Structure 1
Amino acid sequence: MGYTHGNCKEDHHREKTPPPPPLRPLSKSAKLLTLPTILTIGRVSAIPILVSTFYVDSWWGPNATTGIFIAAAITDWLDGYLARKMNLGTAFGAFLDPVADKLMVAATLILLCTRPLAASVFGQLPWLLTVPSIAIIGREITMSAVREWAASQGGKLSEAVAVNNLGKWKTATQMTALTILLLTRDSSLSGSGTFVSSGVILLYVSAWLAVWSLVVYMRKISKVLLM
């Protein structure tokens, strides 16, 4: 009887215990791989293909290289748009997106420096692409280190290194310049001399914007530190 009574008390206690709350479904933003992140990973994966096609001497080599770079530029805009529009942003994607952009741009600049375009102006000034390339890559490395340091400090320092309109103009001119310079490697393209000149000018404009934006960021940081 006592044993039965004990069981009844245990059954009564179980009936009183509320059931555990149902598990919430995993939100899309908490997933590691969303569509924008997959597009970003695709850009990183395309860099070895970009390098391979750049050194192809056949007629389709320059076109393939240019097509890969244009596709990377489009997906760079598309993954950011989808992340905002569909609320698919992730911490991993936010980290990988700028890394993918910098790797693609740095690889393209180095490739163009290793095999200059077949134009008379490059024969006279072989360093013409090297100077803006060093400025752009150096700026990106410096800003990556500065942003990482600012993120560790938090507060107003993180706000000081937020992307501004100057950086957006830098990216736009940079992508346009590199597309033109890759495209003009096609010897069958008519009027390539004019295209080469416009691409070089835009690359120098992009380099100037890159350095100037770095100066602007440093000024903002110094103001925060001196407050």
Structure 2
Amino acid sequence: MPTDLPNLLTISRIAAIPVMVAFAAIGAPWADMAACIVFAAAGITDYFDGKIARDRGVTSSFGRMLDPIADKLLVGAALMMLVGLDRLSHAALYPSIVIMLREIAVSGLREYLAELRVGLPVTRLAKWKTGFQMGAVGTLLAGDTGARTIGLGFLPISLIGEAGLWVAAVLTLATGWDYLQAGLNHAGQADAAATAAASPGETAARP
């Protein structure tokens, strides 16, 4: 049910997006740090909604549908804000593009496999990808200016965030390739089954 705690946490992740965007748009150091905190808090719910659902045995189709959507909306909104506010270097645009394209591709793949009643399991590598991605984006939202508000101005925060974004992009390509192979295998099996089912009819129709 949508009112279960895990689903409420997932919904809160979506609700956090306009708050994060509003803080990032202000452009003040304290607002940059606030955007980072909101993003981090929303990212943490991604761990707890799944854990609580498994521990309590309250997994639902609604949660399975909305959870990956919430993640993609959160990360996509954050990356677009960073690009739009010129908070990323030109080099960091490339891993951002890779991440966004992978999310779109995997979403399309999941939609296709759903028609075949096949699910894509979340691998351990995909979890690492999510961890690096969330950490990198959150760090970039804070940036060097936000870091100064908590006494970390001596660290190259933006550089650290961009390095994490590159790591996330590499992991994104690896997990995306795994998912693509799984999708191609299922598609091949579905085509083979359809061909086999059609063959007897074709044979019978011949004189």
TM-score by length of 1: 0.75
Question: Which of the numbers 86, 99, 102 marks the counterpart of 1:136?
Answer: 99
Count of residues in Structure 1 that have an aligned counterpart in Structure 2:
185
Equivalent residue, structure 1, for 2:27: 57
Structure 1: where are the runs of 5+ without partners? 1-30
| 2:193 aligned partner | none
After the TM superposition, which residues 1-227 of structure 1 pair with which residues of structure 2 at under 5 Å, given as runs? Answer: 31-117=1-87, 126-154=89-117, 158=118, 161-184=120-143, 185-186=145-146, 188=148, 189-193=152-156, 195-226=157-188
* Larger displacement relative to structure 2 (59-68 or 139-148): 59-68
Deviations 1:135-193 (A, max 9, x none): 11110111011011112113xxx25x322122111111101111221222416242242
Whether the aligned pair in 2 keeps the contact of 1:132 and 1:204 (CA below 8 Å) is yes
2:167 and 2:84 mapped to 1: Cα distance? 21
Greater C-alpha radius of gyration: 1
Secondary structure in 2 matching 1:162: coil
Considering fraction of residues, name the structure with more helix.
2
Deviation at 1:129, TM superposition (A): 2.4
Cα distance between partner residues in 2 of 1:220 and 1:127: 33
| Whole-angstrom CA distance in 2 between matches of 1:187 and 1:80 | 30
8 Å CA contact 1:170, 1:206 repeated in 2:
yes
Alignment deviations for residues 92-138 of structure 1 (CA, whole Å, 9 cap, x no partner): 11111111110000011111111234xxxx6xxx4222211111111
Q: Distance in 1 between matches of 2:180 and 2:186?
A: 10
Residues 225 and 145 of structure 1: CA distance in aligned 2, closer, same or farther (over 3 Å): closer
Q: Give SS of 1:55's match.
A: helix
CA distance in 2, matches of 1:92, 1:186: 36
Which ranges of structure 2 fall in alignment gaps of 5 or more residues?
A: 190-207
- Kindly indicate whether the alpha-carbon contact (under 8 Å) linking 1:110 and 1:133 is maintained by their aligned counterparts in 2: no
- CA distance in 2 between partners of 1:221 and 1:102 (Å): 20
In 2, Cα distance between equivalents of 1:168 and 1:108: 19
Aligned-residue CA RMSD in angstroms? 1.8
